[in-house]
Structure 1
Amino acid sequence: MSLGSSYHVGRSAPGPQPAGPLPPVRAATPLGLPLLGAALGHLVVLGLICVVFVRTYPGQWLDGLLLPRAERGGGYEQQTVLVGPSKTVLAAFGSPVLLAVLLGAVLLVGLLGRRLLAGVVGIGMVLTAVVVAGAVKSMLPRSDFQIESSTTHNSFPSGHVAAATALLLAFMLVLPGWARRWLAVPGAVGVSVIASATMIAGWHRFSDALGGVLLGVALFCLAAAALAGWRRDADPGGVTGPRGGQDSGTLWRGLIEGAVGLVVLVWALLVVGPGLDASVQRGTLVAIIAATGLTLLSVVSVVFLVRSADFVGPMHSRHRAQPEPAVNIRDGGTAQG
């Protein structure tokens, strides 16, 4: 029976019907969860290093073995020709003008790349690293075990190293993925240079430098997790984790680039190593190599974790979505919009 319409009652409207059940779609993993896990892991390791090297006899003894105190004056400044260059590096990095320029560069890159919020978060991350490192150093007591190569003065963690790590990772928030990959290794080497300079100049122990790196990386993971959560809320489908086959090519490209970076790093160590070995004591050399390796591992791992994320501000449509026109069924006619 019909009602003067071209459509019959009891029948569905004509149209293409699916040939079969749709294949299951694997949901993308939110990036915030692994970032929070990474932040928690770095904070746990930071706490363990603090407990072991600040509050136990073996930890203080190991710090003193790697960076022994000077026989004259009782300071930790190492007897090497690299003391002068190390103090020059630390004075340059500690310049308020240079820090203001670098923080301004983070904000400018974020503004140009539509990642202004990420730039603001990155600047806050650097300032937070400095404040937290200073607060921990002033409040954390250092146990006195009467170790000849140690003092009760607490310098854990290094504010210089924490600020350098956070500054490098602040650029990772405002740069696109391809630029992050090329900046990660050179930037981590730069952080290692600052960490080595603090140890050679006698400003910090090995555990202090390592604690500064872990603090900066943990703050980056928290900041990136917050940005990832905001990005998904503001623009659904924005920041997600690895996405199956589409990400396999990126994974292989990242592995190849990592292998190339590793070859370059080994070559640099072979070139710099002999001169460094002749200039510093064996314990200092071990501390520099260990700090450099752990810095590279920590920075590169979190940069690899956010390889598929882009913290660009959400795109807003210029026009509001128009409601779909109602279907008008006329007598004897067809469906019209």
Structure 2
Amino acid sequence: MSIGSSYPVGRSTPGPQPARPLPHARTAVPLGLRLLAASLCGLLALALTAAVFVRTYPGQWWDGALLPRAERGGGYEQQTVLVGPAKTVLATFGSPTLLAALLGAVLVVGALRRRLAAGVVGVGMVLCAVVVAGAVKSALPRPDLQIESSTTHNSFPSGHVTAATALLLAFMLVLPGWARRWLVVPGAAGVALIAAATMIAGWHRFSDALGGVLLGVAVFCLAAAALVVWRGDQGADDRPVGGSPWRGLTEGAAGLVVLVGALAVVVPDLATSVRRGALVAIVVVGAVTMVLVGSVVFLVRATDLACPRRPRSRPSTGSQKIS
């Protein structure tokens, strides 16, 4: 050992430590905040849709061009043989008995899957969405802009489409992650069918159906955010259960193809029985439904929304005596 040396002798100097990987961008943002942001985006899109299609001349004109009225001062019922089946679909879905049975099914599935709290939130989410849709429809004024294919009667957003979207997403709250992906396509097809029925029967315009989907998705994201924050596991969905975003996009594209095919099978005369504008409106609403529902399901793909479990009390070892 040399005198005056400031370096330790007989000790190995530590080598360079391996760099720690930076957290992924999705991991850095809690799931609750992402769901809250998605809900705000949905509400903003809903407000923009209402502002454009209800309050402006181009928006009212586009609504009338896609779904023109039968005559000046007449209704929006389309001249097609599908009017009767459309009204049957709406009457069936609007039955209080069926709606009560579907809401009860949400609670039953939630109880069986130990997600009773999520089931209660899902039922409340559906009721809240329907109430908000009715309040907006009553409070939102529709100015008379002297458009021949438009009326001052406001029907934005569609209560039927809002209820259908919220019901579908209520089941997403109580189902496990692997089962949600199997429900996306048939559920979106059902919502698209009800939206198409409202437009064919002349109950709602194109913007009304689009607003109903946006409102249902926004309320779902808000309810899911509340459940995630209550559980306290905001990063639970960062596990690679649902695959990469590219896989999600691929599945979404395949879902759109299946959705169009399902509509063609359920309504084989759709393309030849309605006008081009109505067909465009139905296809666009169906595609938007598939994209939005698929996106929110991908967002919560691996999140367990079961009731939070109380931690088990462990016996204390500090008071044990040493013999």
Normalising by the smaller structure, the TM-score range is 0.7 to 0.9
SS in 2 for 1:250: coil
Structure 1 runs (4+) greater than 6 angstroms displaced: none
Matched, 1:314 2:271: no
Amino acid at match of 1:324: T
Take 1:271 and 1:117, find their aligned partners in 2: how far apart are those partners?
37
**1:212-242 deviations in Å (ceiling 9; x for gaps):** 000000000000000000000xxxxx34254
Instruction: Give the match for residue 181 of structure 2.
Output: 181
> Is the Cα contact below 8 Å between 2:209 and 2:285 reproduced in 1?
yes
> Is the Cα contact below 8 Å between 2:72 and 2:148 reproduced in 1?
no
Amino acid at match of 2:141: P
Instruction: Give the match for residue 247 of structure 1.
Output: 240
Closer/same/farther in 2, CA of residues 222 and 75 from structure 1, 3 Å limit: same
> Is the Cα contact below 8 Å between 1:227 and 1:311 reproduced in 2?
yes
**1:34-64 deviations in Å (ceiling 9; x for gaps):** 1011111111111001000000011000000
TM-score (norm 2): 0.86
Matched, 1:325 2:318: yes
Take 1:144 and 1:255, find their aligned partners in 2: how far apart are those partners?
42
Which structure 2 segments of 5+ residues have no match? 1-16
Take 2:154 and 2:249, find their aligned partners in 1: how far apart are those partners?
40
Structure 1 residues 67-106: aligned runs within 5 Å? 67-71=67-71, 74-106=74-106
Which structure 1 segments of 5+ residues have no match? 1-19, 233-237, 329-335
The structure 1 residue matched to 2:271, chosen from 255, 271, 277, is: 277
SS in 1 for 2:269: helix
**1:147-199 deviations in Å (ceiling 9; x for gaps):** 11000000000001001000000000000001100001110110000000000
Take 2:274 and 2:149, find their aligned partners in 1: how far apart are those partners?
18
> Is the Cα contact below 8 Å between 1:239 and 1:311 reproduced in 2?
no
> Is the Cα contact below 8 Å between 1:28 and 1:242 reproduced in 2?
no
TM-score (norm 1): 0.83
Closer/same/farther in 2, CA of residues 324 and 29 from structure 1, 3 Å limit: farther
SS in 1 for 2:313: coil
Structure 1 residues 28-67: aligned runs within 5 Å? 29-67=29-67
> Is the Cα contact below 8 Å between 1:35 and 1:224 reproduced in 2?
yes
> Is the Cα contact below 8 Å between 1:68 and 1:76 reproduced in 2?
yes
Instruction: Give the match for residue 14 of structure 2.
Output: none
> Is the Cα contact below 8 Å between 2:129 and 2:215 reproduced in 1?
yes
Give the Å deviation of 1:114: 0.7
Q: Percent identity?
A: 69
> Is the Cα contact below 8 Å between 1:77 and 1:203 reproduced in 2?
yes
> Is the Cα contact below 8 Å between 1:142 and 1:154 reproduced in 2?
yes
Give the Å deviation of 1:261: 3.1
> Is the Cα contact below 8 Å between 1:126 and 1:167 reproduced in 2?
yes
Take 1:299 and 1:70, find their aligned partners in 2: how far apart are those partners?
33
Amino acid at match of 1:247: P
Instruction: Give the match for residue 141 of structure 2.
Output: 141
Closer/same/farther in 2, CA of residues 22 and 148 from structure 1, 3 Å limit: closer
Amino acid at match of 2:43: L
Closer/same/farther in 2, CA of residues 28 and 72 from structure 1, 3 Å limit: closer
Instruction: Give the match for residue 6 of structure 2.
Output: none
RMSD of aligned C-alpha atoms?
Answer: 2.5
Take 2:210 and 2:155, find their aligned partners in 1: how far apart are those partners?
12
> Is the Cα contact below 8 Å between 2:242 and 2:301 reproduced in 1?
no
Size of the aligned set, in residue pairs, is: 303
> Is the Cα contact below 8 Å between 1:29 and 1:242 reproduced in 2?
no
